Structure 1
Amino acid sequence: MDIFEKCRDFASTGFYESYGHRVYLRPLRPSAHPGEVLINGRSVVMAGSNDYLGLARDPRLAEAAVRATRLDGTGCSGSRTLCGTRDIHEQLEDACAAFLGREAAVLAPSGFQTNLLLAGLLGKDDVVLGDRHNHASLVDAVRLAGARYHRYRRDGVARAERLLSEAPPGAGRVIVTDGLFSMEGDLCDLPAITALADRCRARVVVDSAHDLGLLGATGRGVPEHFGLEDRVDLVTATFSKSLGSAGGVLAGPAEVINFVRCRARATVFTAGMAPSVAAAALAALDIVRTEPERRTRALEVAERMHNGLRALGYDTGNSVSAIIPIPIGDKVRCLELWQRLLDAGVYVNPVIAPGRPEGQEMLRISFTPVHSDAQLERALEAFAAAGRATGVIPRTPPGSFTPVRIARPPALAQETARPRSAAVPVSTATVR
């Protein structure tokens, strides 16, 4: 059989141009208005990016990237092992290790590739447990290594413990998990995971792609949020979310990082990160450290929009983060809601098969600290009209709703605490 046959049969139009419009791979351009993008020359509110701290267009990152380009050029022309290492790489690695409280760190040119570095550490006899909603890059790392991979549900700790206890003698035991799940917006149960690891003498790897810079008292992510940094063995993260750049980092014990740096195919056989990208990430890391008010504002906006949408009758699932999922459960209705929102000037992400199983279609939404109050209000008005027109929400708002309380550092959480089970009358809910 010709391997190209599947390409001829692939219904690309059905996926990329669903609902009669170009849904995916749509070109976006920067707008003169922060928090907005241009689509076909029209400025719309961007409510679908991973730019959680609003740094992707910060002039300080751009200036750092320009300076690095002038100093080191546009690319490294080789792997880090041979001729691709620059001073800016070592500066960023040292800064990441210090920020995360780890002995050492190693970079990779993308977040996906960062997780593939784990394949250099795993062997075919090792047993790896992973949350069933882990990012594809974590799954592919285990597959690339040929290790034995078992997925667990978040409520399936007992089964997970049995799988670890049945590992062959001499096999390594590892638990890998997203810190903040990219679609659902909820957190891993790190206390249960680390307790399981202690009982089964397993190592713990947390992918902080979506929580680095956003969660924890100083922005170090989910391990800091739970106060369990010393119980997590390795942390992976990407710079393409809160840090407004690209690439990623793996941080942990120096001996482990040195081994991965020299043995992982994902770093030995790839060109070094572009100097401009590394410089932008380094500048962003400094902003995360010195401007905690960005993180505070991001969490305030997230909570406000969660509860503003809930007051309208939307379900935002179990998310406690800047990621706001709206389950729809029907492809046509999901895309119709997406189109009506875009027509009203709000860009969100529709997630359908293969991104989600059929029957679990959803919208994925996020806002940033650079969104103005007027933009947030405009977005809620669009959601009200579009949701009622498509029947996703009732025409009359519910009398009350269960509020979301965003995951915050303990001190901030106490200041804004409200019992999660408390029903808030819609008449008292405000988005201003």
Structure 2
Amino acid sequence: MDFTFSPRVEDLRNRLCDFMAEHVYPNERRLFEQVGAGGDRWQPLPLMEELKAKARAAGLWNLFLPESERGAGLTNVEYAPLAEIMGRSFWAPEIFNCSAPDTGNMEVLERYGTEEQKKRWLEPLLAGEIRSGFSMTEPDVASSDATNIRTEIRREGDEYVINGRKWWTSGAGDPRCRILIVMGKSDPHNPDRHRQQSMILVPMDTPGVRVIRPLPVFGFDDAPHGHMEIAFENVRVPASNMLLGEGRGFEIAQGRLGPGRIHHCMRVIGAAERALERMCRRLERREAFGGPVSQQSVWSERIAESRILLDQARLLTLNAAWKMDTVGNKEARMEIAMIKVAAPAAACKVIDWALQAFGAGGFADEVMANAYAYARTVRMVDGPDEVHRNQMARLELRRYRNSDPARTGGEAEVFIR
């Protein structure tokens, strides 16, 4: 495998870095200040819209969406370093129209949507005219096992009727959120537990869709994006809103979550890289006990360990992206699970050390605090660490069940001389 950047990716990286330096980093504080400045925290930020227009004019728009003429046409390996750069700022992914959950939802529509669904929802999402939400997790069940979900999707004539309650529906706080992708049970008695679920398109303005409340993450409400708890009360949508077909919900979820996990992992590595850079600069400038803090052995250890952790995580993520590109998401599920555990854990540790290096001031730094909150939540979103570890263990054990231990010296018995 070769992770050398192609000339096109190198060009995009340079242009993206230049744009971040000129337009994103200098405006981060202003963006935070604009949230709620007009009295309503759930309104789009004027500065964000200005920056989006600049990004689009610069040709730095919709860089994701592999195997599609609608996006940049980059592979997962090619997009990964760009996602890392965008991950260095809390605001950057949206500026380039590359933020969750819109990216995942657009990939779902591109891969599984009908031409009518693409025209109505995908095209305005790609144009940045609307936003979207993804409703899968539920408050009343252990949603880490998605077969537990209870939201009902029932066919009645030419319509589906939806009843249930979801939470952590990211993106639904934005007033521009026009469409939700909802996962629910359409065939609860199917003997195959993975064929009971479907995904369906639900416009936000459909009668019966009720936003209950925004859910904070470590005290951040992430306005105007938000993570909402939503009730679906006798919501009726046309049968044509079904994605791919009844019973295909798990299939869609796997197609959606694989690339999404790559994006999350690379973004969180970017956030941690920035934290490490800021930590090193801070330690070089500060003096304590007669010399630069960076020369104290505890900080030398942490700097070195941070570099090891982040390079490990990046290489694992690029390897997973390469496998997805070459053999597909299903065959890359072990590698995807590995990065989903390794990358946020590494980022959490590095950002935590950076906070420690900044002392009490670190806790007042919105960039660092948001980065830490994001890194910690990535250990839960798109499946918690425990689920991915269990999957890895099952896949690892499966490798040896039908293999010949004599070929590898892998006998189970204890060797006693």
TM-score band, normalised by shorter chain:
under 0.3
* TM-score w.r.t. length of structure 1: 0.25
Structure in which a larger fraction of residues adopt helix: 2
Higher RCO by CA contacts (8 Å cutoff, separation 6 or greater): 1
